[in-house]
């Protein structure tokens, strides 16, 4: 070992070694069972027919009025225990969303629904990435759509290839 390598700080990425492949596979399989991204939700909703799930917006009424996913059910997290049984079929999986990746409201809503016995996934990116990826949304004034943000969505096609 040279003097240079003896004083070098550990690689921050590998300071904690990667998980064993089987452990990593179990983790990512579990993650995919709990999450859906906005482009997959949008594709399923736009395919026509029954997508096999219902989308729940867990934000306030003011936020809902500002914009929401077309066809979503408005069910603020605090109201889930009292209103979910009247609004949601327990046999239909639920996809929750809130504002965006900086907000854990969708996770709190998903937890509340799971505790009531619903199969649930959280939509990663929330409403922020729905809009940033250029999908149509509804406001209290009607439908809107913005151009995709080139840093979040492919601008030359519908598929990012992932």
14-33 pLDDT, tens digit each: 999 999 999 999 999 999 99
**Is the pLDDT score of 161 beyond 90?**
no
- 68 close to 76: Cβ distance less than 8 angstroms: no
- Give the whole-angstrom CA distance, residue 1 versus residue 24: 32
Structural domains present in the chain: 35-144 (3.40.250.10)
Tens of pLDDT, residues 138-152:
999 989 888 888 888
- Pairwise CA distance, residues 10 & 37, whole Å: 34
Q: How far is CA 66 from the centre of its chain?
A: 18
**Is pLDDT above 70 for 159?**
no
Q: Please, what is the end-to-end C-alpha distance for the chain in angstroms?
A: 41
Q: What is the pLDDT of residues 71-130, one digit of tens each?
A: 999 999 999 999 999 999 999 999 999 999 999 999 999 999 999 999 999 999 999 999
Rounded distance, CA 121 to CA 105, Å?
A: 13
Q: Can you give the pLDDT at residue 35?
A: 97
What Rg value do the Cα atoms of the chain yield, rounded?
20
SS3 51: coil
Structure confidence at residue 156 (pLDDT) = 66
**How many whole angstroms from its chain centre is CA 32?**
11
Residue 92 contacts residue 53 (beta carbons within 8 Å): yes
On whether the CB atoms of residues 125 and 38 are closer than 8 A, the answer is: yes
pLDDT for residue 9 is more than 80: no
* CB proximity list for 130: less than 8 A, separation 6 or greater: 38, 42, 69, 97, 123, 137
Give residue-wise pLDDT tens across range 43-69: 999 998 899 999 999 999 999 999 999
């Amino acid at each position: 070992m040279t003097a240079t390598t003896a004083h070098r700080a550990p690689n921050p990425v590998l300071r904690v070694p990667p998980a064993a492949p089987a452990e990593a596979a179990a983790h990512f399989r579990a993650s995919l069972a709990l999450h859906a991204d906005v482009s997959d939700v949008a594709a399923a909703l736009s395919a026509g027919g029954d997508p096999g799930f219902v989308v729940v917006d867990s934000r306030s009424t003011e936020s809902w009025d500002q914009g929401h996913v077309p066809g979503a059910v408005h069910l603020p997290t605090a109201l889930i225990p009292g209103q979910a049984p009247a609004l949601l079929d327990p046999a239909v999986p639920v996809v929750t969303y809130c504002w965006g990746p900086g907000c854990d409201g969708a996770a709190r809503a998903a937890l509340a629904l799971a505790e009531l016995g619903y199969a649930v996934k959280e939509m990663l990116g929330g409403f922020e990435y729905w809009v940033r990826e250029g999908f149509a949304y509804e406001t209290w004034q009607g439908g809107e759509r913005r151009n995709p943000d080139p840093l979040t969505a492919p601008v030359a096609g519908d598929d990012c290839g992932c």
